Amino acid sequence: MQNGIEYTSSCSLFNVLQGKMFVRKMGGVSFFPIAPKTLDPTIVFYNAIKPAMRDNGFSGKKFPLKYDNGSGAPEAININIHTYSAKVVVLLVSKLIVQREGVAPSLLVLQDMESHPGLHNLVKAVCSVICFGHGRSDYKSFSPKVYPVAVYEKSLGEDSISDVVAVEALTRHRNPRARIIEDTLKKNIDHQVDENSILIDRQGIFARYAYEFGDERNNERKMESVHCLFEVGLALFEIFSNDKYRDLNKSELDFIKILIFSPDIVFIKSVTAYKTWILIADEFKLKRLFETAVELSVAEPATCVHPPMKKEWSPMRAWTMSIVSTLLLGVATYFSPELYKEYIDSKERVEILSPKDGASLSAPSGEVILSWTEVKKQAESIVMVEKLSGDGKWLPAAHAAGRYVTQDNKMVFEVVELGAFRWRVSIEDSRDSEIGNSKWHFFSIISKDREVSK
């Protein structure tokens, strides 16, 4: 990347696109001059992040990329890049998590970018390219601020996530006090449109959807609007709290003043968008930040707060850039109403006794003994066994659809064919509530003649 190349217009790394679609998704406005520009990556950009893609299990020629998470079913990971003013970039990182059985990781873990190490490293590499115009070997030192935007969708008949768990996920604080829960729910009342719930604060967004309340497309439109408004609030927070407002021109500052102090003039087509923006502006303290910026500009007459339109950032001043990231998580469930019960009471870890994890075995009798530790108050054990297919997918073992129920802490698994297997155990009490579980363990059956290794 040569000195002087900027992102006000297309360059070797990005094609710069106007944010018309962004304004449509926001809803309620017809004129929004501070809408972000989209940086559309070129082949030069993808070549720059290729080492990070290779090292972290990603493949593909452009976003969305395929991510090999080890499950045998590649995930689609998308990253959109928006730029505001001269020095603020927002990355929109999208990841879908589908929970079909068993107990999912806690919402706090799912929303932590560092709990997705491959994805986290890819985001760092993207930040490196944005700031320096090329991939750097030390890209892992980058660590953008992350604001989780999580959508939990439940199917008909499943239990909803409680207010306690929802507020915990939103604020990222375990066991929030009753006053915090009450205040969070209260401040989010005005912008709700039905029995579904979208909670917002300056930490991020957490939505709970049930399809018996409203249809899927309405939910999607509402969430798109909330996310766009949150992104604008976040960008303005970065601009004014980090002294980047000096890169705005007078017309932009005039519009921002109206947006912050008289939003009813801006959101004339949507009461919901207006009420949502009121909450977001208050969460990010935009009125006070704007007033402080104006006060500072008056106190420093030699530095004009309304400079002529400046060029956007170049590599020569890249070190002053703010890069923030929103991690968009779609969490869809299809099986267990106890999915997030681990928030309320911890479950006992079940240890696998045999075969040892990673063992290569023979099965001369056509059988393998699976055993695990006992759990107090257990009524029955549910064992899930899967086999690795020829195309790299984990599929239920042939018998009983891979699901076995026993009242003991061991079972006999009948070996039909050779190959790689994985299995896990879930323990339930007399009320059919899960009280313990194990991690996935792996073993291979390589012959039916003799045991090779343990």
pLDDT of residue 374: 84
The domain of 143 spans 14-333
111 and 220 housed in the same domain: yes
Which residue type, as a one-letter code, is found at position 253? L
Residues 258, 115 share a domain: yes
Domain assignment of residue 64, yes or no: yes
Among 113-117, 271-275, 318-322, which range has the highest average pLDDT? 271-275
Neighbour-count burial of 375, counting CB atoms closer than 10 A to its CB (0-12 exposed, 13-18 middle, 19+ buried) = buried
% of the chain with per-residue pLDDT over 70: 78
Query: Which ranges in 188-249 belong to alpha helices (H)?
Result: 216-241
Q: Which two tokens stand for residue 407?
A: 């009242």
Per-residue pLDDT at 274 exceeds 90: yes
Q: And the tokens for 229?
A: 């408004």
Q: Mean pLDDT: which of 29-33, 252-256, 290-294, 398-402 is highest? A: 252-256
| pLDDT band (50, 70, 90) for residue 339 | very low
Per-residue pLDDT band at 102 (split at 50, 70, 90)? very low
CA–CA gap between residue 203 and residue 170 (Å, rounded): 7
The CATH number assigned to the domain holding 409 equals 2.60.40.10
> 424 and 326: one domain?
no
380-397 pLDDT per residue, tens: 888 989 888 877 677 888
Residue 3 neighbours by CB under 8 Å, 6+ apart: 314, 315, 316
CA torsion, ordered 402, 406, 412, 417, to nearest 10 deg: -10
Tokens 């991939």 correspond to: 135
pLDDT tens per residue, range 204-243: 999 988 755 556 678 888 899 999 999 999 999 999 988 8
Sequence-distant (6+) residues with CB within 8 A of 46 are 61, 62
* Contact residues for 82 (Cβ-Cβ < 8 A; gap 6+): 19, 22, 36, 37, 38, 39, 89, 90, 91, 92, 231, 235
Residue 140 forms part of a structural domain: yes
Residue 417's pLDDT is 83
Burial of 390 from C-beta contacts in 10 A (0-12 / 13-18 / 19+): exposed
Tell me, what's the pLDDT at 340? Answer: 29
The interaxial angle of helices 216-241 and 286-299, nearest 10 deg, is 30
> Per-residue confidence at 359, pLDDT binned at 50, 70, 90?
confident
Same-domain check for residues 275 and 357: no
User: What residues are paired with 434 via a beta bridge?
Assistant: 428
| Residue 336: pLDDT over 60 | no
Q: Does 191 map to a domain?
A: yes
Closest CA to 22 of 44, 43, 39: 39
Residues 239 and 360 in one domain: no
| Residues 22 and 228: beta-carbon distance below 8 Å | yes
Please report the beta strands in 363-437, taking only residues with DSSP state E, as ranges in sequence order. 367-372, 380-388, 394-396, 403-406, 410-414, 419-428, 434-437
CA dihedral 443, 447, 452, 454 (to 10 degrees): 20
Task: Choose between 307 and 241: higher pLDDT.
Answer: 241
Same domain for 327 and 369, yes or no, is no
The 10 Å Cβ neighbour count of residue 365 is 10
Q: 166 and 275 in one domain?
A: yes
Q: How many domains, in total, are found in the chain?
A: 2
* Residue 341 belongs to some domain of the structure: no
Q: Who has greater pLDDT, 88 or 316? A: 88
Query: Residue 285: is its pLDDT beyond 60?
Result: yes
172: pLDDT confidence band, cut at 50, 70 and 90?
confident
* 197 in the same domain as 320: yes
Task: Quote the mean pLDDT of the chain.
Answer: 79
Do 436 and 321 lie in one domain? The reply is no
Q: Would you state the pLDDT for residue 400?
A: 58
Verify that 383 and 307 share a domain, yes or no: no
Note the pLDDT of residue 332: 39
Q: Is the pLDDT of residue 351 over 60?
A: yes
A 10 A CB-CB count for 401 gives: 11
Beta bridge partners of 15: 40
Assess contact for 101 and 337: CB atoms under 8 A.
Answer: no
* Residue 145 or 57, more confident: 57
Q: Tell me whether residue 72 is in a domain.
A: yes
Do residue 79 and residue 176 come from a single domain? yes
Q: Does 3 map to a domain? A: no
Q: What is the DSSP letter of 13?
A: S
Instruction: Taking residues 61-76, report their average pLDDT.
Output: 83
Domain assignment of residue 8, yes or no: no
Produce one character per residue of 71-107: b if its CB has 16 or more CB atoms within 10 Å, e if not.
eeebbebebbbbbbbbbbbbbbbbbebebeebbbebb
- Give the containing element (helix H, strand E) for 283: helix 271-283
Name the domain boundary from 286, 303, 333. Answer: 333
Domain boundary among 306, 333, 360: 333
Last residue of one domain, picked from the residues 280, 307, 333:
333
**Burial of residue 143 (number of CB atoms within 10 Å: 0-12, 13-18, 19+):** middle
Exposed, middle or buried: residue 308 (CB in 10 Å: 0-12, 13-18, 19+)? exposed
Q: Which residues have C-beta within 8 Å of that of residue 228, sequence separation ≥ 6?
A: 22, 25, 26
Least confident piece of the model among 137-141, 150-154, 195-199 = 137-141
The reply to whether 298 and 385 lie within a common domain is: no
- 7 domain residue, yes or no: no
Lowest mean pLDDT among 23-37, 79-93, 131-145, 282-296: 131-145
Amino acid at 290: F
Quick one: pLDDT at residue 152? 81
Whether 70 shows a pLDDT value over 80: the answer reads: no
Is 377's pLDDT higher than 70?
Answer: yes
